[in-house]
Amino acid sequence: MKHALLSPSASDKWTKCPGMPKLAAKVDYQVGVPAAVGTLIHSMTEQLLKGFLVDVSLEDYWLGKKEFVEDFEIEVDQDMIDCAKVYVDYVQNRTKEIDGRLLVEQKVRLEEISDNLYGYADALIVTPKRMCVIDLKTGKYPVSPDQNKQAMIYALGALSRYGSEDTEVEITIVQPRATWGGGPIKTWHTTAEYLVDWAYDFLQPAVDACEEENPKYVFGDHCRWCNARSICDLYKLNNKEKK
Q: What digits encode the pLDDT tens for the residues 27-44?
A: 887 778 999 999 999 999
Q: Is residue 243 scored above 80 in pLDDT? A: no
Name the average pLDDT for the chain: 93
pLDDT of 241: 62
Element (H, E) at 72: strand 72-75
Give mean pLDDT, residues 182-206: 95
Distance CA(226)–CA(230), nearest Å, equals 9
Give mean pLDDT, residues 46-70: 92
Q: How far from 58 is each of 41, 69, 79, 135, 225, CA to CA, in Å?
A: 11, 18, 12, 20, 32
Domain annotation for the chain: domains and CATH numbers:
31-212 (3.90.320)
With beta carbons less than 8 A apart as the criterion, state whether 147 and 183 touch. no
Closest alpha carbon to 169 in 127, 229, 219: 127
pLDDT of 181: 65
With beta carbons less than 8 A apart as the criterion, state whether 170 and 145 touch. no
Q: Read off the pLDDT band of 239 (50, 70, 90).
A: confident
pLDDT digits (tens, 9 = 90+) for 133-184: 999 999 988 999 999 999 999 999 999 999 999 999 999 999 999 877 678 9
Predicted TM-score (pTM) of the model is: 0.93
pLDDT of 196: 97
Can you list the positions of beta strands (E) in 98-216?
101-109, 118-126, 130-136, 168-174, 185-191
Q: Is the dihedral of CA 164, 146, 144, 113 positive or negative?
A: positive
pLDDT of 242: 59
> Which of 1-5, 35-39, 189-193 shows the highest mean pLDDT?
189-193
Percentage of the chain lying above the pLDDT 70 cut: 97
Distance CA(163)–CA(167), nearest Å, equals 6
pLDDT of 55: 87
